[in-house]
Structure formats: structure tokens, C-alpha cells
Structure 1
Amino acid sequence: MTVEYKFPANFWWGSATSATQIEGAAEKDGKAKNIWDYWYETEPNRFFDQVGPARTSDFYQRYKEDIQLMKQIGHNSFRLSISWSRLMPNGQMNEQAVEFYNGVINELIDNDIEPFVNLFHFDMPLAYQQFGGWENREVVDSYQSYAEMCFKLFGDRVKKWFTFNEPIVPVEGGYLYDFHYPNIVDAQKAVQVAYHTMIANAKVIKAFRKLNDPHSQIGIILNLTPSYPRSSNPTDLRASKIADLFFNRSFLDPAVLGEYPDELIAILKEHGQLPQTKQGDKELLKNNTVDILGINYYQPRRVKAKEYLPNPYAPFMPDMFFDLYEMPGRKMNPHRGWEIYEKGIYDILMNLKENYGNISSFISENGMGVQNEERFIKEGQIQDEYRIEFIREHLKWVHRAVQEKCNVKGYHLWTFMDNWSWMNAYKNRYGFYSVDLNTMERKPKKSAEWFKEVSLNNGF
């Protein structure tokens, strides 16, 4: 194999997933309910094929077998999350959960796969959501206690920690657009939840730094979706700038720079939407920024100026300032309805280089969801050429960013094996390995074999 696109030595090749999406065993071994367990119980009709999170891909029972498969396809790193409601049900440490996560971490390390551990991936314990979840500042303190427990239990072996995955999603889903529990539509609460999330991020980083481990890093994982304007007309440019403020910079700036953008504060102030803050918050955010940034990228956001003036009596929403725009001739993933725009990954990395101190980063998620992949089985294997092309074309732009001195250190696909997605259950499959939901058998897709070659050659 001729390697045209060579990556730096020790580049991270692997994949990512989350506890609720693969573990299963939702009611076993002392785990308490999280919001997903509860929401599925109360509204199963909102889940694809009414499939809930109780079983998912059974990683809880099969993690040793799965980690062997990761090793077989050249993983040197793997991001997982810890389930807060499993590790600390009702605020107390659960020994069976400690045993499970120790087993997973040790098995990864024994197979030369570095564990990247994320502390929160959309799965608020139900007990805390009943107190308002991230709306309630006391929940921030409970989260800090949970994070400190994780550092104490696993920090001797885990050297890459992440506070949150895509913290904008619980804000959008739970408090603006009604696609996650608690299904509240209230911009003021959305702003408060977003703010408390970043206070939680800073408090956990502060606690982490007290450990004083020079070999460990802590970061956050953000779904950075570039906002491209329809045209260079000032009204379109302003629309894209405001979309970027709400959906990217609202988390990126406090995480990396330790402060919120002035323009965002001005918009929220003008519309009476500023969050409640406490004395000392500003210093807390400024002094506790991330060491490393995970970047999740799937599709671009294309926006234009509003076609019509917003109703002055309608509730405040980010969409008051822009409309989404469908660019003619765009390349699409027809299975998922998402645009494919590979250069977006390069634009994100260049923005980090130019405006965020070239912070150490990696692609923490990128992937292609496809429905009914059985259509593509030939001789017993899913021939997912479309996924290989998707990864390869994105990696070409990552490679170009490396050549241009962007500080990017790895690429993780979403995801290792087909897993349960929040409301879509198993509708769209993303994995290197397919999972038979009846037998739980794992089978490599063609992309798994291709990725193994990329990892072995450190390029393609």
C-alpha cells in the first residue's frame, strides 16, 4: 500500500461511544435510572421502533470480546463514557460499577488501547433531573463530587479526561427544540442550563488540577458546526455570525478562552435572557480552561438572513436571527438527510489555530449513519464503500490541516459497533462492526478492514 497521506507519529486512531448507547444492563447491578430510562418508560412512542436503552449493544457483558475486536482493527485509543447513574446511584459509590469500569479500563490498557474517558454524555441521573438537572446549581456540585470520585478511582490509569460531550445538545434538545427529556421549551432555562454546564466544566477542571498529575490532561468535546453564510451580503454574514455565537462560541469561548463573547452577552442582555451568575464565576471560568479539545463534526450549518421579520410577541429563540439555507447542488448522505461537506473539518481546525491559540485537539467524532445496511451485504459482509469514502475524504482535509501546522492529534470514528442512538434507537447504523440485535453477534464491515490498514500504515 502506497501511503500518500502520512500522519504524525503516535496519531490517535480509534472510535468513540457512550455508556447509555452501548452498555445495556440498564437495570442491573445497582444502576439507578437516568433520564433516558425514565423517558422511554413514559413515552416509548417517541423512540424508533419503540426500542429503549435497556439492552442496547450489551457491552456490559461483552466488553472483553469487543476490546479484542478493537485491537484487531488497529485501535490505539478509544473514547468511552462513565454512567453517572451507574457509578453513583443516589449519590453513593456502587462497587459493582467500579468493578465493571476497572475491568474495561484495564482490558483496554492490556491491549495497548488508551482509554479516553468522558464524564457526561447526555445521561443525567433521574434523581438529579427531578431537582431541575443543570437548571439547578446544586446539581453542579453533585457532578463535581462524581467527577472527583472518577479521578480517585481511575486516575492512576486514565490520562485523558473529558468533562462533557456536546453540551449544546441537552440545551437544544431538552430546552429549545423538544427532542430530549425534559422536553421544555424555554430559552431562559436553556441559557441557564448552558451557563451551569460551563460552570460545572470549570469546577471539575479546578478539582482535576489539584491532583497535579503532569501526565494527565482534561478537555471537553464540542460538536463544532461551521456556520456558512448564503452570500457575502452583510445580512447573510451577520446571520452566520449569530448562528456561530449561539451554537459554537457559547461553549468554545468559555472552554478555551475562559470568557463569553461580548456579542453573545449583548444579544442575551438586549432580549432579557442573561443567566443568573454568582460572584467569582468570571474568575472561575478564566482560570480553569481546557488542555485539549475534542471536535465532533458531521455536517455544516448553512444560514441566511431571515426571510420574514420574527413575530415580536413570539418567545425568544436563536432562530429569530437567521434561517437555515439549503445550498443548491450540495452533496448529501441520502440515508440520513445530512449534507456531506468534508472541508468543514479543515475550516474548524484552521479556526482553532488562528483564533484559539492552536489548542491541542483531535477529531473525537465523525461518521456516517445509514439505514438498512443489510442491503449492502455481499458474501456475508456489509460492503460499506460509502463509509470508507466518507472517512477518507475527511481525513484528507485533516491531513492538510496537519501540514498547515494545526495541532490535531487524532481521529476517532463514531462509532466502533452499531449502537443505540438517543431517539433513533438502531435506525441508522454507524459502526465499523454490525450488531445483530437478536444474537448480539458482531461482524466487521468492509470499513473495519480498511481502517485497520490506515492505522497500521499511519496513513493511506
Structure 2
Amino acid sequence: MVEYKFPKDFWWGSAASGPQTEGTFDGDGKGENIWDYWFKEAPEKFFNQVGPADTSQVYHTYKEDIQLMKETGHNTYRHSIQWSRLFPEGTGEVNQVAVAYYHNLIDELIANDIEPFMNLYHFDMPMALQEKGGWMNRETVDAYVHFAKTCFELFGSKVKKWFTHNEPIVPVEAGYLYQFHYPAEINMAHAIQVGYHEMLSSAKAIKVYREMNQDGQIGIILNLTPSYPRDENNPEDVKASVIADAMFNRSFLDPSIKGEFPSELVEIVKELDMMPEIQEDDLKIIKENTIDLLGINYYQPRRVKAKETPVDHEHGPMPDDFFDNYEMPGRKMNPHRGWEIYEKGIYDILINVRDNYGNIPCYISENGMGVEGEEKFRNAEGVIEDDYRIEFVSEHLKYVHQAIEEGANCLGYHMWTCMDNWSWLNAYKNRYGFISVELDKDYKRSIKNSGRWFKKVSDNNGF
């Protein structure tokens, strides 16, 4: 009996990325990106010193992996095209070995009735471009647009769902504010310029895609983290939540859908005298080239309160100058990861998109539960009994279902991730997959309980 029935042709599947799954091999022609470089320079920063060359080897195992996708109920799957694999130097000659690989991957997905969704940028800046400033440099925008156009030309006859960026706020936060990604700066002016160039590059890629008259859709993937005030009746707490929302959600959500940056954010940036370099026609390009389709990544809420702690002046202005984070008493936690679990957040996002963003077609492009030390849940048969993940996904899906019942234009649900994969500095510390990957057993794959459960959900289009 299916209690939660989803719309016809609902997208069931998962998401992953090229740099987190493919690995690096002799003869693959891949150039160095910022992760390859950083691991070479500082391997001790990476959990268990596992680097990007040792990811889950999908480059060689994609055929077997796609069969596992079928076994876990996928009718859609999102991957990314590694910029440094296609263009080893970021620009210049196309790597034909990479072209063949991505054609083969896409063809294999389609042959197995799994629609490929392809994303273009997933935190993997080619090192040759980073050495010239990366997203700080206006030339990177042009190089990215050329990369995007090349992808559309090569694969656009087969791929009908494109995304310009995955979580563009993350390179801003992690690379230029909080030091989780290379170049690990703490510089708000740089962060603002990086975010602006990412947004401009997205709009320019969308413009190119439309000019090519390919009969698909193009969008962006945003990690939307609702900012809840400590006290909704306290104006200062509410103001803090509005500012946090403008910085971390609406900074990309508004220009992607409405074609303009949020006024609250612009006002703060002007007051800080940190306006990015804006060229003539930039804002017109952003205004006229909004998305067709929104991907929503949701993991946890952001809870904030009015600023109560002293401002840290050591590093100049930071987002944290405008609010404090707030730990809600009695909150539900993922004990294996340290993140709050708040299932209703996914509903609040979808209703916000319905009410304030024209109910644009959207889907849940990532949602998932990371667990450290998951091997302790492996049973005598070698299967990981991750019933906690089944509960996590089903409780979120209930709220997705409720939002759809109330008119939200949500077309699908993708979990992060298909199989356990490498995750930046955390490497394989936290496992997220429907499918287990055992690094010490030649990357052996096995389907977890959650993968078998998800197949039933997909087959029944509900649960």
C-alpha cells in the first residue's frame, strides 16, 4: 500500500560529481585542478591522507556502477563534467580521451533508461586558471563560458538537463572566508568578487545555451539552508535571519530566478565599500538569462540570532559580523555527523519557491545523511544496515510530498549520493551512498539496505 504517492514521471535518483568519483589514471589526459594541487602540497589536511586520485574509480567502473543504479531504482542521475578533464589547462585544446569517456558514460546511462543530468562546475577549478586568480579573474568567466559551450556542442544532442554550477556559494564560503577549500583565504572582498563572477558566468552560459537552440533545460543547483531566527517575535533576531538568508541563499537564488541581487545584500556590500567590478551589460546579461530549472540541495537548517558576541576584527569584515549562530535546545541531531536534522526545512524551501519565485520547476537535487564509521553497521552477510538513512530520506520525502500536494512544482528527488564517494578535505570520512565502497577491498561495491528500499520507492512511485 502506497501512502505517499508522487506525480507521474517523478525523477528518482542520486547525484555525484566528476572530481569526487572518477579518479585519475595514466593516459586519461586530465589536467591538474585545485584539489590535485592542494593534496600534493598538503596531504595532511585530507582525512586519512586520501586524495582525489583515489576516488571511487567510476572512470573505469561506470558500466558496473550504472547496473547498480538500476538495482537501486534510478531513472535519473546527476554527474558533472570535470573542467580539468575536458580542458587540462582550463582553455586551449580539448582532451579527446575525456570526450570519449563522457560520451560513453552518457550513452550507458541512456541505454539503461537513466536520464543524465549534467552539471558543469563542481568546485574543480583547473589549476592553470587558479594560478591566474581563479574566479577572482574576469578571464575565468570567459574560459568557463567556452568550456560550457564546448560541453553543449559535444553532448547537447543527448543531454537535456544542464546545470551551470553546483552550490556556487561554497567556493565563496569555503575558498575565501572559512578556509575549507583552496585557496583557503579569509578575505570578504575577494569572496564577493568570486561570487559575482560565478553568477555572471552562469548567466552567460545560459545565454549561450539558448542561442544554440538546443531543446533542453538549463538551470543551477543551489544549497538552500533556511535561516530561522531564534525568536520570530524579536525584530533583531528576524533582521539577523534576513541578512543570513540574503548572504547565503538569496545571493544566488534571486539573480538566478529574478535576474537581480537582493537589495539587503547590495546595501551591505556598498556600506562595506566592497562592490565587485561590474562591467557594462553585466547586469543586463544577468537580468535576461535566468534559469529554466532549479536544483535544491538541502541538508540542515541555519539558526541565527542577533549579534551578541564581540565582532572579530582580526580578519576584517565577515558575514559573522551581522549575526550569531544559534543552537536550538532539543534539536534533533545526526549523532554520526554533528548536523541538525530538520525535515520540515525541505518543505519550507519548496513553499518559499512556490510563493516568492514564481513556482519555478524545481527538484531536490541533494539530500542525504553522512555517517562516520558506517562499517560498524555491516551485518554478517556484509550488507550495511542503514535503516537510519531510510528513516532520514522517508521523513524528508513526506515533507516533499506535502509541498507538492500544496502546489509546489517539485519534479524529483535525488539523494547525495549514489555510492560512497570522496568529499574534499573529509575524503571518505562520512559515508552518504546507497551503495558501499570499500577502499581496502579494491573499491568493492555493495548495495546498502537504503538502496534496496529506494528501488521499491521508485518502482511504486511512492512509499
SS of equivalent residue, structure 1 residue 24 = coil
Please tell me the residue identity of whatever aligns with 1:106. Answer: D
Deviation of 1:93 (Å)? 0.5
Q: Once the two structures are superposed, what CA deviation does each residue of 1:279-298 show, in whole Å capped at 9, x if it has no partner?
A: 11111011000000000000
The CA distance in 1 between the partners of 2:309 and 2:134, in whole Å, is 36
The CA distance in 2 between the partners of 1:427 and 1:28, in whole Å, is 29
Matching residue of 1:385: 387
Query: CA distance change for structure 1 residues 36 and 311 in 2, over 3 Å: closer, same or farther?
Result: closer
Matching residue of 1:161: 162
Contact 2:187 2:315 in 1 (8 A): no
Q: Once the two structures are superposed, what CA deviation does each residue of 1:355-403 show, in whole Å capped at 9, x if it has no partner?
A: 0000100000000010111111123211100000000000000000000
The CA distance in 1 between the partners of 2:197 and 2:356, in whole Å, is 25
Contact 1:33 1:85 in 2 (8 A): yes
Query: CA distance change for structure 1 residues 274 and 154 in 2, over 3 Å: closer, same or farther?
Result: same
Please tell me the residue identity of whatever aligns with 2:221. Answer: I
SS of equivalent residue, structure 2 residue 123 = coil
Matching residue of 1:426: 428
SS of equivalent residue, structure 1 residue 101 = helix
Matching residue of 1:147: 148
Deviation of 1:314 (Å)? 5.5
Matching residue of 1:180: 181
The CA distance in 1 between the partners of 2:221 and 2:281, in whole Å, is 25
Deviation of 1:309 (Å)? 4.6
Matching residue of 2:47: 48
Deviation of 1:106 (Å)? 0.1
Contact 2:71 2:452 in 1 (8 A): no
Please tell me the residue identity of whatever aligns with 2:187. Answer: D
Matching residue of 2:412: 410
Contact 2:309 2:324 in 1 (8 A): no
In the TM superposition, structure 1's runs of 4+ consecutive aligned residues that sit over 3 Å from their partners are: 311-314
The CA distance in 1 between the partners of 2:255 and 2:81, in whole Å, is 24
SS of equivalent residue, structure 2 residue 424 = coil
Deviation of 1:28 (Å)? 4.0
Deviation of 1:21 (Å)? 0.5
Question: Matches of residues 337-376 of structure 1 in structure 2 within 5 Å?
Answer: 337-376=338-377
The CA distance in 2 between the partners of 1:102 and 1:192, in whole Å, is 34
Please tell me the residue identity of whatever aligns with 1:54. Answer: A
The CA distance in 1 between the partners of 2:299 and 2:34, in whole Å, is 25
Matching residue of 1:453: 456
Contact 1:26 1:33 in 2 (8 A): no
Deviation of 1:27 (Å)? 5.5
Contact 2:207 2:289 in 1 (8 A): yes
The CA distance in 1 between the partners of 2:352 and 2:317, in whole Å, is 29
The CA distance in 2 between the partners of 1:166 and 1:57, in whole Å, is 22
The CA distance in 2 between the partners of 1:313 and 1:171, in whole Å, is 19
Please tell me the residue identity of whatever aligns with 1:67. Answer: I
SS of equivalent residue, structure 2 residue 294 = strand
Matching residue of 1:236: 237
The CA distance in 2 between the partners of 1:312 and 1:55, in whole Å, is 40
Q: Once the two structures are superposed, what CA deviation does each residue of 1:86-113 show, in whole Å capped at 9, x if it has no partner?
A: 0111221111000100000000000000
The CA distance in 2 between the partners of 1:242 and 1:387, in whole Å, is 33
Please tell me the residue identity of whatever aligns with 1:343. Answer: K
Matching residue of 1:89: 88
The CA distance in 1 between the partners of 2:71 and 2:309, in whole Å, is 55
SS of equivalent residue, structure 1 residue 410 = strand
Alignment of 1:440 onto 2:443: yes
Please tell me the residue identity of whatever aligns with 1:435. Answer: V
Structure 1 gap ranges (5+): none
The CA distance in 2 between the partners of 1:336 and 1:55, in whole Å, is 23
**TM-score, normalization: structure 2?**
0.98
The CA distance in 1 between the partners of 2:315 and 2:110, in whole Å, is 53
Please tell me the residue identity of whatever aligns with 2:99. Answer: V
Matching residue of 1:123: 124
Structure 2 gap ranges (5+): none
Deviation of 1:311 (Å)? 5.3
SS of equivalent residue, structure 1 residue 336 = coil
Alignment of 1:400 onto 2:402: yes
Matching residue of 2:57: 58
Query: CA distance change for structure 1 residues 313 and 272 in 2, over 3 Å: closer, same or farther?
Result: farther
Question: Matches of residues 325-336 of structure 1 in structure 2 within 5 Å?
Answer: 325-336=326-337
The CA distance in 2 between the partners of 1:318 and 1:238, in whole Å, is 14
Matching residue of 1:206: 207
Alignment of 1:5 onto 2:36: no
The CA distance in 1 between the partners of 2:313 and 2:221, in whole Å, is 36
Contact 1:26 1:53 in 2 (8 A): no
RMSD: 1.0
Please tell me the residue identity of whatever aligns with 1:264. Answer: L
Alignment of 1:134 onto 2:125: no
The CA distance in 2 between the partners of 1:400 and 1:159, in whole Å, is 28
Matching residue of 2:225: 225
The CA distance in 1 between the partners of 2:384 and 2:309, in whole Å, is 46
Contact 1:27 1:54 in 2 (8 A): no
The CA distance in 2 between the partners of 1:57 and 1:198, in whole Å, is 30
Q: Once the two structures are superposed, what CA deviation does each residue of 1:3-61 show, in whole Å capped at 9, x if it has no partner?
A: 00000000000000000100012554110000000000001111001110112100000
Q: Once the two structures are superposed, what CA deviation does each residue of 1:289-346 show, in whole Å capped at 9, x if it has no partner?
A: 0000000000000000111352567601111010000000000001100000000000
SS of equivalent residue, structure 1 residue 378 = coil
Please tell me the residue identity of whatever aligns with 1:21. Answer: Q
